[in-house]
Amino acid sequence: MTCPYLSYRRSDGELEFDTERAYCGVVEEFVSPMRADVCNDRHELDHERDCEFYRDTESN
């Protein structure tokens, strides 16, 4: 299961991108591909366990 706060966008409202980029709804900014790996639970990572943004949001 991927993080419910992750989305992919082709623009930032002003600039258009050639490819979609990972966007974190918690921090309201685009995130690196490595961070997106955590969000997508790749490489034995788990967003519930390994993402401080997710944990902080869900604990409130």
pTM of the model: 0.89
Other beta carbons less than 10 A from residue 47's beta carbon: 22
pLDDT for 2: 94
Other beta carbons less than 10 A from residue 51's beta carbon: 23
Q: From CA 58, how far away is CA 3, in angstroms rounded?
A: 11
Three-state secondary structure call for residue 41 = coil
Residue 38 in any domain: the answer is yes
pLDDT band at 52 (very low <50, low <70, confident <90, very high): very high
Residue 14 in any domain: the answer is yes
| Domain that includes residue 31, residue range | 6-59
Residue 1 in any domain: the answer is no
Residue 35 in any domain: the answer is yes
Number of structural domains the chain divides into: 1
Dump pLDDT digits (tens) for 18-47: 999 999 999 999 999 999 999 999 999 999
Residue 54 in any domain: the answer is yes
Residue 39 makes CB contacts below 8 A (sequence gap 6+) with 2, 3, 5, 6, 22, 24, 31, 47, 51
